[in-house]
Amino acid sequence: MRTKYTPAEIIAGGVADTRETFAELYVELRELRQEAATYYYRAFVDTDNGAEPVAPAFHPAPPGFGGNELARPVRRVDLTRLTDAGLALYVFGVRSALAEREELVRQIEAAKHDLERMLIAMDGTIVDVVSSLLRREAALDRRTSAQVETSQLQPWDVPVRQPGTRGYL
């Protein structure tokens, strides 16, 4: 008995078989984005004013998405039973999955680069704030510790104007 596959099943089989080899890239990309979101939250959200703490990302399905049915796994494609045209379709599925993998790797590199830039910016911002606070504290210390030299005045040394006249005592 010869198993028959539709062209869509053959392409989906090639994609599914190839995706299994790089499934961890999706996890890595999600972790990088979550880390960046956490740093962004720590840097720019003021929790003292009642802001909500950062929560894991929740992406609801768009309206009309459905979701009441279970996803059927792709049927395994037996490569020994495919014709040359079927193998070409399978290779097309593999190539499209590899293109998806290249895009994932590009997005991971971009996310790592953005995360590094965010950390550098945060470190620079924190350094600027701390150094300005230290400069202000040093200036305040100089002002308070400076001894103002005043001469001790005796009550009779101070000129006192006599009311109603231009004379002083």
Summarize the confidence of residues 120-145 as an average pLDDT.
Answer: 80
Residue 5: the pLDDT is 85
DSSP string, the chain: ------HHHHHHHHHHHHHGGGHHHHHHHHHHHHHHHHHHHHHH--GGGTPPPP-----PPPTT----SPPPPPPPP-GGG--HHHHHHHHHHHHHHHHHHHHHHHHHHHHHHHHHHHHHHHHHHHHHHHHHHHHHHHHHHHHHHSPP--PPPPGGGS--BPTTSS-B-
In a domain, 155, yes or no: no
Instruction: Specify if 86 maps to a domain.
Output: yes
Res 55 pLDDT > 70: no
Q: What is the pLDDT of residues 92-106, one digit of tens each?
A: 999 999 999 999 999
pLDDT of residue 95: 94
Cβ atoms 51, 45 nearer than 8 A: yes
Start-to-end CA distance of the chain, whole Å, equals: 130
Q: What is the pLDDT of residue 80?
A: 86
pTM of the model: 0.58
Average pLDDT rounded to a whole number, residues 76-82: 86
Could you tell me if residue 148 is inside a domain? no
Q: How far is CA 162 from CA 155, 157, 159, 169, in A?
A: 15, 15, 10, 7
**Structure confidence at residue 67 (pLDDT):** 61
Mean pLDDT of 114-126: 80
pLDDT value at 54 more than 60: no
* 91 in any annotated domain: yes
In a domain, 79, yes or no: yes
Residue 96: inside a domain, yes or no?
yes
* pLDDT at position 96: 94
What is the count of structural domains for the chain?
Answer: 1
Q: Are 13 and 75 in contact (CB under 8 A)?
A: yes
Q: What's residue 34's pLDDT?
A: 87
Query: Taking a C-beta distance cutoff of 8 angstroms, is the pair 115, 35 a contact?
Result: yes
**Residue 75 placed within a domain:** yes
Identify the pLDDT of residue 19. 87
pLDDT over threshold 70, residue 59 = no
Beta bridge partners of 161: 168
**Over residues 70-91, mean pLDDT:** 84
On whether residue 97 sits in a domain, the answer given is: yes
CA–CA separation, 135 and 116 (whole Å): 28
Confidence of residue 167 (pLDDT cuts 50, 70, 90): confident
Domain encompassing residue 137: 7-54+70-143
Taking all residues of the chain, what is their mean pLDDT, rounded to a whole number?
79
pLDDT for the residue 106: 95
